[in-house]
A and B are shown apart, each in its own frame.
Chain A
């Protein structure tokens, strides 16, 4: 099935740095979702975006739904060790399952 183009594939950063990742698609989605997955666990929803152009924050996380409905970015400010994990973007069309990006592996060096 289709996948979203998510980048970067991995990030090695220092604790306290800001993080930015994004997803693009050739197709339009009605909803964009960002998830974090820890090893051996299911993805946990971080932020949901429902309107084109919408900018939403959740603590240190900020995400935006692109105006064209074909892209989204996620920013994490002042990273901390527990931010380590794999972050997935996902697009949703009504009645369809989610289409996922390939994930961004975030590694934080103390």
Chain B
């Protein structure tokens, strides 16, 4: 079946630095990928929709200059958290649309900003 892979699984960074998270569709092409954020004991909240070859569409309240999204190929989207702060610490999850509008998720990436 379809597989979506995220890297890294977890990362710890210093406040003020930038962190990049990769999302890859391993056995299918995904023109659209989605980035979510999840705080402990809460549901997933959509941050942005990543479209291959064009600018990402951000949800209301999500700073596009802080959360940079690049969808450079049909199998790779990246999320860069710029000038990270402790409040950015969260679980970030990507997903991609496979055959038949089914959404498959990556394993998630834990970000801790110290």
Contact = CB atoms under 8 A, between A and B. Distances in A.
A102 B104 CA distance: 18
B49 interface: yes
B45 interface: yes
A90 interface: yes
A52 interface: no
B67 interface: no
Given A40-B110, A42-B106, A45-B104, A1 B44 contact: no
A45 B100 contact: no
The number of chain A residues touching the other chain, given as a range, is 20 to 34
Contacts, number: 61
B103 A94 contact: no
B100 A50 contact: yes
B105 A1 contact: no
Contacts of A40: 91, 108, 110
A33 B103 contact: yes
The number of chain B residues touching the other chain, given as a range, is 20 to 34
Nearest to B91: A40
B87 interface: no
Nearest to A95: B32
A1 B60 contact: yes
Given A40-B110, A98-B34, A50 B43 contact: no
B48 to A, nearest CB: 8
B35 to A, nearest CB: 9
B46 interface: yes
Interface in B25-71: 32, 34, 36, 42-46, 49, 59-60
Contacts of A43: 44, 93, 105
Nearest to B32: A95
Nearest to B103: A98
A79 interface: no
Interface string B89-114: 00101010000111111111010000
Interface of A: 1, 3, 30-31, 33, 35, 40-45, 48, 50, 88, 90, 92, 94-103
